[in-house]
Chains A and B, each alone.
Chain A
């Protein structure tokens, strides 16, 4: 029974992780930008929801749109200021990775300056509650955050699969020139994809604000965690990223429960390291180099 409980909790968190990486894969797919600033954008979203909760008592789940919008606007700003020139070329470059690295440091420093590196968690009423199914108990915070994440991911998947613009986004990730030749405004697609990716980071942040404890410099740890998920799934593939997130989250939960919680994050780092080395393409998709 206990093992089932751990797996269910792992899956709930897995969907949150999947939401955290969905924006990362989208941005990578369209622009080939490995956005190391993604985790700090998630933390920015967490701060939005956290403060809305502290100041106005607004439930973090209800502030998902606010966090998404705020971070999307921040993303547009960053894109215009920093990435526009390189993004449209759709080539992997060390320089762009370092640019995102610098961006991550800038936001990290700013947030740490404003709010300090103290651990925070928003604590809505349900945060300490749980439901019981037989003798399995599921904390509501995990359950809700997992469900909301799943909902957002489904909406994203439907948008990419069926909407005209969604198909254009996928076409652009496949081949920028071909997309231009059927009349897609690739630069616009890049901008919007970047904004959507950041909005996804922001919405993930809202959920993170009450599921995890967060502080600005925690994003360094999350960089490696998120990278392990996308790399397992094959960079740029949304399905792959979701599967990667679920698998690693469950494994990490199992390690945490049956070996030692202290080693549960090690699962991500080792997985990342091993996959990059053994199979640079990831288990599903596009090459990363």
Chain B
């Protein structure tokens, strides 16, 4: 942890932008996969359109930045809230179905948002919004994002841990096992499901705001693509969905694999190929993920066993 806080010091000794970029990229995806894990892992609702909240957050803060000049670093908190409100409203509608229907509805949701933002001229249509660069020099320009995402990551892990060990989380997991039985035991299923969904949207929305500023543009074909959601899902499954440390480990492993592929094969088309392949192999031979499998075999070292 301390080393992560101190890591940017390397910039005093030269330009390690690549390292900084990779680490903050990991922060971003750990935030997203840990958040996804709340509804997808604990709750068992597999959403492959969860990046709508990422896009909503990015657009909200990006729009305000472009129009009123207020930096996303201030508005990220509100971007998360907007995402949560959307999460609540959408959750009320989509969480009425489960299983394959839910998965399909999550894809439909993503396509609806993609189409809307592609056509919405106020926010630039398909070209999106272009944001000003920050005024820091090249070595330091990434540092604000680095710390912002670090904070979000810590919050997301804490949230995931908290949910895992709370009564709320217990109810959530019992719903994922058997909705009808949970209903009998007097849990208010609807509230629990929708809250979990909205909760998982919060940090994803905030992360979207920061990420928009980092990229300096917010565009439908960057934020509303299914690959982002696919990554969240895969990172969780690879690490072990429904565990606290699973998404963290899964994300780190995936980002390493991605980098390896990019370095060796270059083409980004192959990236999607390998992502899919990894997903298939994980599901077929490794459905409990890294943490889940280790736990089952009682090989999980204590420092990784957070529940």
Contact = CB atoms under 8 A, between A and B. Distances in A.
B93 interface: yes
Given A34-B103, A94-B103, A109-B274, A289 B97 contact: yes
Interface string A200-232: 000000000000000010001101100110010
Contacts of A34: 100, 103-104
Contacts of B108: 224, 227-228, 269, 272-273, 276
Interface in A84-98: 85, 92-95, 97-98
A112 B284 CA distance: 25
A178 to B, nearest CB: 23
A113 B272 CA distance: 10
A109 B103 CA distance: 22
Interface stretch (B15-23, B145-153, B263-271): B263-271
A276 B269 contact: no
B230 A105 contact: yes
A216 B100 CA distance: 24
Please tell me the size bucket of the interface on B.
35 or more
Mostly helix, strand, loop or mixed at chain A's interface?
helix
A276 B105 contact: yes
A133 interface: no
B46 A113 contact: no
B101 A82 contact: no
A181 interface: no
A70 B269 CA distance: 23
Interface string B144-169: 00000000000000000000000000
A107 B277 CA distance: 9
Interface in B122-137: none
Given A109-B270, A276-B104, A288-B99, A98 B237 contact: yes
B8 interface: no
Contact of B276 (A105, A117, A276, A289): A105
Contacts of A105: 230, 272-273, 275-277, 279
Mostly helix, strand, loop or mixed at chain B's interface?
helix
Contact of A97 (B46, B118, B225): B46
Contacts of A108: 272-273, 276
Closest 5 CB pairs of A and B: A109-B273, A105-B276, A102-B279, A112-B269, A106-B276
22 contacts: A97-B46, A98-B283, A101-B48, A101-B276, A102-B279, A102-B280, A103-B276, A103-B280, A105-B272, A105-B273, A105-B276, A106-B273, A108-B276, A110-B273, A112-B272, A216-B269, A220-B225, A227-B104, A269-B108, A276-B105, A277-B93, A289-B98
Interface of A: 34, 36, 82, 85, 92-95, 97-99, 101-110, 112-113, 116-117, 216, 220-221, 223-224, 227-228, 231, 262-263, 265-266, 269-270, 272-273, 276-277, 280, 288-289
Given A109-B275, A269-B115, 17 more contacts: A93-B99, A97-B103, A101-B230, A103-B276, A108-B272, A108-B273, A109-B272, A112-B272, A113-B270, A227-B108, A228-B108, A266-B116, A273-B105, A277-B94, A280-B97, A288-B97, A289-B100
